[in-house]
Amino acid sequence: MSFIPQTIAVIRTDRLGDMVLTLPMFPALRSLFPSARLILIAARYVEPLVRHLECIDEVVYLDAQTDSLQTILRRHGVDAVFAPRPRASEAWAALRAGVAVRIGSAYRWYAPLYNRRIREHRADAQFHEAEYNVRMIMHAFGGSTPAVELVSPRPHHTRRKEAVSERARPRVIIHPGSGGSAKDWPAERFGMLARELQHRHNAEIILTGIATERELCSAVIRECPDAVDMCGRCDLDGMIDLIAGVDLLVANSTGVLHVATSLGTAVLGLYPSTPSMSARRWGPYSGRSAVLESGPGDDMLSISVERAVSAASLLLAEL
């Protein structure tokens, strides 16, 4: 390796799930460059995800700064920067800041601004999104593909080992929204699934979502009126704590699903089949999970409630 970076920055300022799947870059970078300073440049929204992480030396919240990204990169002496979600403005800032190694996609009109270009089309879904992010390190600096290790936002959290049968009831989060990142299973079916899990497993159903998903949550409540309604009542910190304490989370392709996976909570995910939105790229990165995908044409109605009940029941039986 001809160049050994001293200060490495990863820029990621978008969605929650994207951040969860970007964080595995940091253990991989630490393994390859043990003496380098590792900086995450992110949005303040994700602070509860990263505040306790020992694999990151510093987090800079871009939306809380008065300085430009160019100034921040120069002030911190960044000599290598990764752009797992490339943006032209960020690429220009890195170039103007004099960052020696700039790593980003070869398939953007501004790709010449990067001097180590990644030639992988993520929409093809040949790899999982977490793997694509970590593979950037291999493409930039050579060697074998680093291991992909999800990073828990609660590093010292240990899941209780008691079996579901030793408690009064299994706890299940139903999360019907997705923020529009993929095609969704209908909220009414989430409600029917919740009702069946109550009936068959005496499950305690906890309904979650952001305030703007109230309509979706109401559709679930109509089918399962005994659900504990937490829709719009949790900030991200509270949501992480809630997920850490349940046995199963059922969701569309969305950020909280990846938070659950990073915490070791069992997950059932419901996905369209188009490669760019599919579970091959965005599914739960965990052995404690199950995925149901639509058929051709991304018809989410092709996923029956009974299939979802069966998959959820198997996950509960493994606890």
Q: What is the largest CA-CA distance in the chain?
A: 63
Q: Give the other-Cβ count within 10 Å of 163's Cβ.
A: 10
Q: Tokens for 213?
A: 């998903």
pLDDT for the residue numbered 168: 73
> What is the CATH superfamily name and number for domain 7-141?
Glycogen Phosphorylase B; (3.40.50.2000)
Instruction: List Cα–Cα distances, 315 to 118, 170, 267, in angstroms.
Output: 37, 11, 8
How far lies 2's CA from each of 138, 141, 204, 219, 223, in Å?
A: 14, 9, 56, 58, 61
CA-CA distance, 29 to 71, in Å (whole number)?
24
141, two tokens: 């600096």
> Which of 7-11, 94-98, 106-110, 156-160 is predicted least confidently?
156-160
Which residue type sits at 203?
A
Question: Which runs of consecutive H residues, i.e. helices, occur in 143-282?
Answer: 187-201, 214-223, 236-244, 255-263, 279-282
Give the span between the Cα atoms of 67 and 41, in whole angstroms. Answer: 13
Task: Determine what percent of the chain is predicted with pLDDT higher than 90.
Answer: 89
Taking only the tens place, the pLDDT of each residue in 212-230 is 999 999 999 999 999 999 9
> Which residues 6+ apart lie within 8 Å of 84 measured at CB?
10, 11, 12, 18, 22, 25, 132, 133, 136
Residues 206, 208: Cα–Cα separation, whole Å:
6
Question: Quick check: 162 and 201 in contact, CB under 8 A?
Answer: no
CATH code, 164-317? 3.40.50.2000
Per residue in 14-29, pLDDT (tens digit) is 889 999 999 999 999 9
Token pair of 104 as six digits: 């980003």
User: What SS3 class is residue 163?
Assistant: coil
Query: Which residue type sits at 268?
Result: L
Give the span between the Cα atoms of 127 and 123, in whole angstroms: 10
Segment (H or E) for 275: none
Q: Identify the DSSP state of 146.
A: P
Three-class SS state of 57? coil
Which residues sit opposite 173 in a β-bridge?
206, 249
Beta bridge partners of 207: 174, 229
Q: Which helix (H) or strand (E) holds 206?
A: strand 204-207
**pLDDT tens digits, one per residue of 271-290:** 999 999 999 999 999 999 99
- 7-141 and 164-317 share one fold: yes
Residue 161 — pLDDT band, cuts 50, 70, 90? Answer: very low
Annotated domain spans of the chain: 7-141, 164-317
Q: 24-33, 128-137, 164-173, 267-276: lowest mean pLDDT where?
A: 164-173
* Residue range 219-271, pLDDT digits in tens: 999 999 999 999 999 999 999 999 999 999 999 999 999 999 999 999 999 99
Burial of residue 142, with CB atoms counted within 10 A of its CB: 0-12 exposed, 13-18 middle, 19 or more buried: exposed
Q: Is residue 38 scored above 90 in pLDDT?
A: yes
Distance CA 246, CA 172 (A): 6
> Tell me, what's the pLDDT at 10?
98
Query: Whole-angstrom Cα distance, residue 208 to residue 24?
Result: 26
> Rounded CA gap, 119 and 74, in Å?
27
The dihedrals phi and psi of 162, each to the nearest 5 degrees, come to -60, 145
Query: Would you call 287 exposed, middle or buried from its count of C-beta atoms within 10 A (0-12, 13-18, 19+)?
Result: exposed
